[in-house]
Every structure is written in C-alpha cells, then in structure tokens.
Structure 1
Amino acid sequence: MMRSNRPLAGVSVLIGALLLTGVSWVQAAPNTFNTALPVAEGQYLWREQLVLRERSDNGPMDREVSVQALGSVLGYGVTSRFAVFGMVPYFFNKELDVTTPMGRIERDTSGFGDVSLFGRYTLYKKDETGNTFRVAPVFGLTAPTGDDSDSDRFGELPRPLQAGDGAWDGFAGVVTTYQTLQYQVEGQLLYRENGRHDGFARGDETRFDASLQYRIWPRSMKGMPGTPAFVYALLESNVIHRERDETGSGTDADSGGGQWLLAPGLQYVSRSWIVEGTVQLPVAEHPNGDAIEDDYIVRVGFRRNF
C-alpha cells in the first residue's frame, strides 16, 4: 500500500504560494554572503550579525589582530524583483598586538566603520510548488564614513587597524539560489574595487562563495500542522583573492594573497525569524610575504522580515 504524502504536499503548496504571492516569509540563507532570495515588495529585512575575528602572521613582528564587530543591515523591497540594502558596521574593538624594538605593544580602536549601500535585482526567477531558482546581480558602493585617522600614544594607527579606509569603494557581482523544502544551494561571484586615499589603497578583492543548507529538523513533514519552523545544517565555502595594497607609488609586498575558508553552522528558521551561527576556518591560505592570515571567524546573529 502506498504511503500518503499529503502533509508534505500541503506544506509544499503553502510555501510555493508564499513565494508566488510575495507574502513575507524568511527562508534559509547563507551566513557569510548574500542571497538571491527576494524581499517582498514594500517589506523590510532586518539583520544583525556579531563577528569575532582572529588573525595573525608568522613574520618577525608576530602580529595578532582581534576584531569584535556588529554588522547592522536593513533591506527594503522596492519591487518584487528589486531590493536595496544598507549596512553599517560598528567595531566594539579592533586590536593589534605587535612586537617592536620597544617590546610587545597593544594598539586598538573602536567606532563606526564605512557604510555600504547596494542593490540586488532578480534578473531571472523560476518558482514552482516547493522550490524556486533565482539569479540576481548585486551592485553597490562603500562610503568613507568611518574614522581613518585615529591615533594613540604611539602615533597614527596603521591603515588596517583604522575603522574606515577613507576611500570610496565599489563592488559588483551575481548571486544564485536554488531552494527546495529539503535543501538550498547558493553561490556568489563578487569583485570589489577599493579606492585610494592619502596615497593608500587596499588591494582589490575577488571572491567566490558557495553554501549548502540542509534541513535536519523536522526530518519528516508527516503530521506537522500549519507552518512549522525548521533547523538547517550549513556548510559554506569562501574562496578569496586579494591584490597587494598600494602604498605611495608602489605596493606592499606583505599584503594580499589567496585563501579558502570552510564554515559549518546551524540555522533556526521560523516564519519571521532566522537565528544562525557559523565558524569560518581556513583550509588553505597563500599570503603574499608576511601578510596577515585568518585563524578563525565566528559569525552569530539573526534576521527578521516585517
């Protein structure tokens, strides 16, 4: 005797209808990069993410950088295809420990960083009952709103330690999403061109990101009434290449390079909320010279549609 699939079919029809009618519904999404899933017309997406990042190098100065920051994002659905976003970072602490001829010293700063504004347009979409596929270009800029001339008793802080870089930066790319009830796959290709300020420019960055979100609870939709919440296991991959920083008329030999990060994590997804967390760990790093490298990055936060 064939088993009944009515509970699964019912949830499939419900989510398919939500996707097609534009009703606010939070879907699983990447934790370390953007998504092509829509923000319904006239609705908002609010996101807060706490980032704890530890970096170090193997050079003679034995640099260690610790960052605790909060990224606040607000998105708005202008139309069913076009959404705009603003992101404001705040650094609770950005600290450098370094060995100098005077011994080991600590330098730090805090405050608001550079604000980013960007748009995302759904170029292609295909919605079916229980699944959706989308392709969306992303384009934006980062304004020099953060302090780029902070100093301490040792003088002006080094460029990488400043809350802002003092330059206008631009970025563009494309994100894709394929979502079903059981899993979701996403990818992003993004290029960032960094501007110059006072003879300094951070190295331009190219990145390719991928994410798999797989539903681990409930294991079965059978007997689940209404609109359930979900728990997803995440595995994300980030491949990043950074050019050397430009200083004056030359480049910094100890900057830039390539890296590959993997980020396992979890998401709890309800109708209006996502609570999520990942830990990004380096699989391979190829810094130029004694460029600083990531030890790990922890990301925890939430999102809400309204």
Structure 2
Amino acid sequence: MKNYLLIIIAFFAFAKAYAQGPPITADKPIMLGGGSFTIKTLTEFRNTERLNAVYLPVMLHYLPTSNSLVALHLPYISYDIEGGASGNDLADIKLLGKYQFYRKDATGKTFRMVAKTLQTLPTGEELDLMELSTGKYAGYYGLVSGYETLKYGISTEIGYNWQPDGTLDEFRTKLGFGLPLLKPQYPNKQLNLYFEYTSTLLTERDWYQLLYAQGVQYAGKNITLDLAVQMPLIQNLPTSRELNYSVFLGTRYSF
C-alpha cells in the first residue's frame, strides 16, 4: 500500500488540472489584472458515514498586482452528526495569499506557477471536519502550477497543511483536467468540463483518501456558475469517517 501511495503522490506532484475557466474543487495559477476583485462562493453538501454538513463560504479575493492575490473566506456551516451534536455556526475563517513567480506565454498557450499559503483561524466549532470546522489553527503551504491551451488545461497542486495543536497534519496533492466544449469567442462564453482528483494523506493518523470530482462550468464575461460531484476512489481510514459523496455548487463574479 505504501508503494502505491508513493506512486500516486509522485504522479500528482507533476500533474493537476486547469482549463479555460477557474477549476471547481482545485486552485488556479492564472490571475486577473491588478486591482481587480472577485466575490465567490462554493457551497459543499457533504455526506459521510458520520454526518451530513452544508458548508457555505463567502470569499472576497483582491489582486493588488497582476501576480499577487490576498483573500478572506468567511464560512458558515450547518451540521448533523449521527448520535451527536447538530447546529449552525461560523466555521473556521481562512486567509489566503498567492504569488505568481513564473510565467511563460506562447501563441495560444501559457504556463504559470504560484506559491500559496492558506491560514486557517480557529473560529469554528471543534468538529474535527477536515477543511471545514476544526476549531484549531492550521497553516497550509503549497505550490500551484498550470498549463493552459485553447483546447485543454492541466494544473497541479502540492502542499502541506500544518496543524500544531491537532492531529490533522496533511500532505495534499491535486490533479485536474479542463476541457472546453465551445470554441473561443468574444464576448467570452465558455462551457467547460472538469475532471479533478484530490489525494490526501493525514500523516499523524495514517489516513488516506483519493477523491474524484466530475464538474461542469458555465463562464460568461465576468461571472461563472459551477456544479461538481465528488466521490471517493480509495479510502484508508475508519469506516465511520468515510466519505459517501460531496456536491459542490458555486458562483463567482469578478469586477
């Protein structure tokens, strides 16, 4: 099993998805112009053997320059734990920073690389919900890359999430492919398919998940609408913590 995980991790380190519009469950290295804002949300309906949860973040992204980004994520969560608590609360607030340090453009294609950090503040309940509500501080540090052409997009992410006062230290890799279904046109109108993989290894708990998300996106001018369904491919963790599925609904508006 360990050899198999190493093969997956090595593969993900060199490939992840990116297409003509922003990925849905993944991240992107391509940025808009300096001085621009994006307001977005990506609601997740998560069903596991342990609980049902609805996670609704309101995210404000600002680009001080064309190669830097800062963001504030204010999330709300509704949860119902089987045989346990239920409620509606503020989840963990997140601060995002990104810096694009490499860019190479050619006719009809581009390759870019971004350094990324995501600081999770312990404002949520201690629900032990990875990426949603842990009630503990965590710092994520990663590298995002993307290669995009007029016909397809590929992007990767590799990083580590450090939780000093908990046991959710995580080695994370992502791989995604984007396929535009419409020809490039002006004004911008896109219909994109996304094929996105997430590999998660909790180093202290020795838990592992490989997830696959199938998504579709409509992008027109300065607004996008997203829909994706995420399912587990491999799960090596307690049965009570296994994911059944997640459904993502999102929108973003840039100005």
TMscore range, shorter length:
0.7 to 0.9
CA distance in structure 1 between the aligned counterparts of 2:32 and 2:195, rounded to whole angstroms: 23
Name the CA shift for 1:299/1:256 in 2 (closer, same or farther; >3 Å): farther
- For 1:117, the aligned partner's letter is L
Q: Displacement of 1:167 after TM fit?
A: 2.6
Please give the per-residue CA displacement for 1:134-180, whole angstroms capped at 9, x wherever unaligned: 000101311112244xxxxxxxxx6559x743332111000011111
Q: CA RMSD in A?
A: 2.1
1:187 aligns with 2:136: no
Q: What corresponds to 1:76 in structure 2?
A: 62
1:257 aligns with 2:235: no
Q: Displacement of 1:33 after TM fit?
A: 2.2
1:126 aligns with 2:97: no
Secondary structure of the equivalent of 2:31?
Answer: coil
- Which segment is superposed worse, 124-133 or 47-56? 124-133
Q: What corresponds to 1:108 in structure 2?
A: 86
- For 1:70, the aligned partner's letter is L
**Segments of 4+ in structure 1 off by > 6 A?**
none
Q: Displacement of 1:294 after TM fit?
A: 0.6
Q: 1:40·1:80 contact (CA, 8 Å) conserved in 2? A: yes
Q: What corresponds to 1:207 in structure 2?
A: 172
Q: Displacement of 1:54 after TM fit?
A: 0.6
Unpaired runs of at least 5, structure 1: 1-25, 57-63, 99-105, 149-157, 245-254
Name the CA shift for 1:272/1:159 in 2 (closer, same or farther; >3 Å): closer
Unpaired runs of at least 5, structure 2: 1-18
State percent identity of aligned pairs. 24
Aligned length, in residue pairs: 236
Q: What corresponds to 1:305 in structure 2?
A: 254
Q: What corresponds to 1:174 in structure 2?
A: 143
Return the structure number with greater relative CO, CA threshold 8 A, min gap 6. Answer: 2
Please give the per-residue CA displacement for 1:194-241, whole angstroms capped at 9, x wherever unaligned: 131xxxx132011110111101124xx5xx6x3240101110011111
Spell out the pairing of 1:1-306 with structure 2 (5 A cutoff). 27-56=20-49, 64-91=50-77, 93-98=78-83, 106-148=84-126, 159-160=128-129, 164-196=133-165, 201-218=166-183, 226-244=186-204, 257-287=207-237, 289-290=238-239, 292-306=241-255
Secondary structure of the equivalent of 2:122?
Answer: coil
Normalised to the residue count of structure 1, the TM-score between the two structures is 0.72
CA distance in structure 2 between the aligned counterparts of 1:177 and 1:243, rounded to whole angstroms: 27
CA distance in structure 2 between the aligned counterparts of 1:276 and 1:292, rounded to whole angstroms: 27
Secondary structure of the equivalent of 1:217?
Answer: coil
Q: Displacement of 1:40 after TM fit?
A: 1.6
CA distance in structure 1 between the aligned counterparts of 2:70 and 2:113, rounded to whole angstroms: 16
Q: 1:44·1:75 contact (CA, 8 Å) conserved in 2? A: yes
Name the CA shift for 1:180/1:97 in 2 (closer, same or farther; >3 Å): same
Higher Cα Rg, which structure? 1
Q: Displacement of 1:82 after TM fit?
A: 1.1
CA distance in structure 2 between the aligned counterparts of 1:41 and 1:126, rounded to whole angstroms: 18
Secondary structure of the equivalent of 1:42?
Answer: coil
- For 1:303, the aligned partner's letter is R
Q: What corresponds to 1:18 in structure 2?
A: none
